[in-house]
């Protein structure tokens, strides 16, 4: 079988969340961070015939890139990867060596919904880097909803903000760490619950992330 560029891009992104991955039979890929605060799931074009684990995704994808549009053959203990004149054997990780999701998250009702474009996502990450800060706040005074890049512990912190929607009459401050926004570049619908969890749904591919809010988030009903 072939593995598409779309799936390789998703795997490359998943490697930023967890260095390894356990792939189940079927067409769904899942990963979870070691801190259990980021979970991602994607339905991909390929259907995998069996369960297997890769310990080092970055190494695996680098190895795959050495071949030209290779074919993948899934054996009991290893992958056989080959193109017209080159072949490679890549062994699976042992059971238990890779952290994987125990169960899927059931997203609670979300009081807040915004759209997050690829352009704005990149601007937020760039602003955090330029300003040397690591907090992203989703803030509302009840009238407007803003995304704010800041250092929430520093009252004189430099900030970058963008209005992203109309308020619902409720004031809130939902806190994220920029470093936890390990999402594939793209356009997203973002759902945020006062229960401490958010859901980023990619509009272009069948991919979503569940990212925990910071404990000091507040939703004032």
Q: What digits encode the pLDDT tens for the residues 142-196?
A: 999 999 999 999 999 999 999 999 999 999 999 999 999 999 999 999 999 999 9
Question: Based on the domain organization, do 41 and 137 belong to the same domain?
Answer: no
Q: What is the CATH number of the domain that holds 42?
A: 3.70.10.10
Q: What digits encode the pLDDT tens for the residues 86-126?
A: 999 999 999 789 999 988 899 999 999 999 999 999 999 99
Structural domain for 31, as ranges: 5-91
- In sequence order, the 6+-apart residues with CB closer than 8 A to the CB of 110 are 191, 192, 193, 198, 199
Question: Based on the domain organization, do 86 and 125 belong to the same domain?
Answer: no
74-to-15, 23, 54, 63, 165 alpha-carbon distances in Å: 21, 12, 12, 16, 47
Question: Based on the domain organization, do 87 and 144 belong to the same domain?
Answer: no
Question: Based on the domain organization, do 20 and 51 belong to the same domain?
Answer: yes
Domain tally for the chain? 2
| The model's pTM | 0.95
- Inside any domain, residue 96: no
Question: Based on the domain organization, do 124 and 216 belong to the same domain?
Answer: yes
């Amino acid at each position: 079988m072939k593995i598409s560029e779309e799936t390789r891009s998703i795997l490359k992104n998943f490697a930023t969340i967890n260095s390894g991955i356990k792939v189940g039979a079927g067409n769904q890929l899942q990963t979870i961070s070691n801190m259990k605060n980021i979970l991602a799931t994607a339905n991909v074009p390929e259907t995998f015939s069996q369960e297997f684990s890769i310990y080092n995704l970055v190494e695996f994808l680098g190895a795959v890139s050495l071949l030209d549009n290779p074919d993948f053959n899934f054996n009991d203990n290893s992958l056989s990867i080959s193109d017209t004149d080159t072949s490679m054997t890549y062994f699976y990780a042992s059971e238990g060596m890779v952290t994987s999701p125990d169960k899927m998250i059931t997203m609670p009702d979300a009081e807040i919904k915004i759209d997050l474009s690829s352009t704005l996502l990149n601007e937020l990450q760039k602003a955090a880097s330029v300003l040397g800060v690591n907090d992203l706040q989703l803030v509302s005074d009840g009238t407007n909803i803003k995304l704010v890049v800041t250092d929430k512990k520093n009252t004189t912190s430099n900030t970058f903000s963008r209005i992203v929607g109309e308020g619902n009459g409720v004031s809130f401050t939902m806190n994220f760490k920029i470093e936890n926004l390990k999402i594939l570049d793209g356009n997203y619908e973002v759902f945020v619950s006062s229960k401490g969890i958010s859901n980023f749904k990619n509009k272009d591919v069948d991919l979503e992330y569940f990212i925990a809010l910071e404990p000091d988030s507040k939703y004032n009903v």
